[in-house]
Structure 1
Amino acid sequence: MDNRMKYTIDSNMQFPMVEIALEAGESAYIQQGSMVYHTPSVALNTRLNARGSGLGKLVGALGRAMTSGESMFITEAVSSSDDGKLALAPSMPGQVIALELGAKQYRLNDGAFLALDGSAQYKMERQSVGRAFFGGQGGFFVMTTEGEGTLLANSFGSIKKIELQGESITIDNAHVVAWSRDLNYDIHLENGFLQSIGTGEGIVNTFSGYGEIYVQSLNLETFASALQPFIVTNTGN
């Protein structure tokens, strides 16, 4: 029996919207604030953004929120009938891709998570101090998938898939959406601190091994910097 998420991505829209079909008892974890509409049989419940139970789960969710800026909470959608429908839209204009979990598992950069099949799982994996310090989009925790199901990830701009067959590649960390869990990765400054200032290239992620990397064409940090001169702030006068 195939319990994987049943979804449609409207390819006729410039910025896609995803509709998920849920049968009775089926559920999906979704990005907070991503819901566009749902049928009456679908209920939305707030859960801590961490796995486990008790105090450990609370500390994990709190740590995730403090170190990466993500919410302590995640939304779980559950249907009470076989005709449940739930529509989602990403917070940023871009693409939505579906990654099938099972033999392949993935890690996600902050902001890339849109939805996860309720039959699959995820954990907030603690990173080393070095990775956390340099990982402006990773913090001390990174979302790692487990089990079988479907993961929906979103990007800022278009998505390109890069496949590694034992070689290495260095990618600006702000352009990284998701990558195979089996890949080795090292978050660091490009050419050291002073060289990074001079070239304008900062935090990068070097991947090696066998697996997939999904990169986005736009950089949210660069885009925000470009908009800064046009944003009027209250000077308090």
Structure 2
Amino acid sequence: MRYEIKGGMMPVVEIILEAGESINCEKGAMVWMSPNMQMQTSGGGVGKMFTRAISGESMFRNTYTAQGGPGLIAFGSSFVGNIMAVEIGPGKEIICQKSAYLASTPGINLEIAFQKKIAGGFFGGEGFIMQRITGQGIVFLEIDGSVVDYMLAPGQQMVIDTGYLAMMDATCSLNAETVKGGAMNMFFGGEGFFNTVVTGPGKITLQTMPKSQLAAEIASMIPSK
């Protein structure tokens, strides 16, 4: 398999598969392909379908296989931003936002990642349920806006506004804390009541334009009747 991420603000990942090779993807992710690509839709069993449903993904997944020779297929981003290719393997697992998954090689597994601390799930803005990606292979993820990476040392923390955490190594932990400075900051500071706090060690990936933030900005400009 070979791949290339193309485009600017609305990127695609174009993948070349050898005969017999396959790629899995989120439902509706394919944007173009060569005619020798064969599609198979499956749920993978009730357990996997349930896991996908509560983690924010489609219950069904498509698998494309090149037939009779090399095949080309492209998967497109659903939002302005970036597509990242992340290699997963022993000792390298990640936790990402629910809507991040785009496509992956067959050895990749998607699991539910419950936040261990309830406060981090309900108040941190990243959701009580995120996605844990394990296995062996490459996963392609959608990031909203631009990508900013930080490597956190053991015990080092980053305070993040709601929705801006796209991905983190599974070695990191996530919690929520109230906005500091008292009631004035919480009610009139414009940053909400809670921030997400990620503690290292591990790499974190932040996104500069979460869908939720853009939706809120657009909603604020729509005049009420």
TM superposition score normalised by structure 1: 0.79
Deviation at 1:30, TM superposition (A): 1.8
- Mapping of residues 212-223 of structure 1, within 5 Å: 212-223=203-214
Going from structure 1 to structure 2, the CA distance change for 1:188 and 1:42 (only over 3 Å counts) comes to farther
Match of 1:160 among 132, 148, 155: 148
Say which SS state the counterpart of residue 55 (structure 2) adopts: helix
Provide the rounded CA distance (Å) in 1 between the counterparts of 2:127 and 2:166. 11
Going from structure 1 to structure 2, the CA distance change for 1:132 and 1:184 (only over 3 Å counts) comes to closer
Equivalence for 2:5: 9
Going from structure 1 to structure 2, the CA distance change for 1:88 and 1:148 (only over 3 Å counts) comes to same
Say which SS state the counterpart of residue 76 (structure 1) adopts: strand
Equivalence for 2:199: 208
Mapped contact 2:4–2:15 kept (Cα < 8 A): yes
Deviation at 1:214, TM superposition (A): 0.7
Match of 2:101 among 92, 104, 113: 113
Mapped contact 1:173–1:187 kept (Cα < 8 A): no
Match of 2:59 among 67, 72, 93: 72
Going from structure 1 to structure 2, the CA distance change for 1:96 and 1:137 (only over 3 Å counts) comes to same
Equivalence for 1:175: 164
Going from structure 1 to structure 2, the CA distance change for 1:71 and 1:198 (only over 3 Å counts) comes to farther
Q: Where in structure 2 are there 5+ consecutive unaligned residues?
A: none
Give the partner amino acid of 2:188. Answer: G
Determine if the alignment matches structure 1 residue 93 to structure 2 residue 89: no
Deviation at 1:155, TM superposition (A): 1.6
Q: What is the CA RMSD across the aligned residues, in angstroms?
A: 2.7
Say which SS state the counterpart of residue 196 (structure 1) adopts: helix
Equivalence for 2:16: 21
- Mapping of residues 177-192 of structure 1, within 5 Å: 177-191=166-180
Equivalence for 1:226: 217
Give the partner amino acid of 1:10. Answer: K
Mapped contact 2:95–2:113 kept (Cα < 8 A): no
Instruction: Give the fraction of aligned pairs with identical amino acids, expressed as a percent.
Output: 26
Say which SS state the counterpart of residue 201 (structure 2) adopts: strand
Give the partner amino acid of 1:165. Answer: A
Give the partner amino acid of 2:122. Answer: F
Going from structure 1 to structure 2, the CA distance change for 1:151 and 1:64 (only over 3 Å counts) comes to closer
Give the partner amino acid of 1:109. Answer: Q
Provide the rounded CA distance (Å) in 2 between the counterparts of 1:59 and 1:14. 33
Equivalence for 1:197: 187
Give the partner amino acid of 1:44. Answer: M
Give the partner amino acid of 1:215. Answer: L
Determine if the alignment matches structure 1 residue 45 to structure 2 residue 40: yes
Provide the rounded CA distance (Å) in 2 between the counterparts of 1:45 and 1:174. 33
Q: Where in structure 1 are there 5+ consecutive unaligned residues?
A: none
Give the partner amino acid of 2:29. Answer: S
Mapped contact 1:186–1:205 kept (Cα < 8 A): yes
Say which SS state the counterpart of residue 153 (structure 2) adopts: strand
Equivalenced residues, count? 220
Deviation at 1:191, TM superposition (A): 4.1
Provide the rounded CA distance (Å) in 1 between the counterparts of 2:23 and 2:123. 32
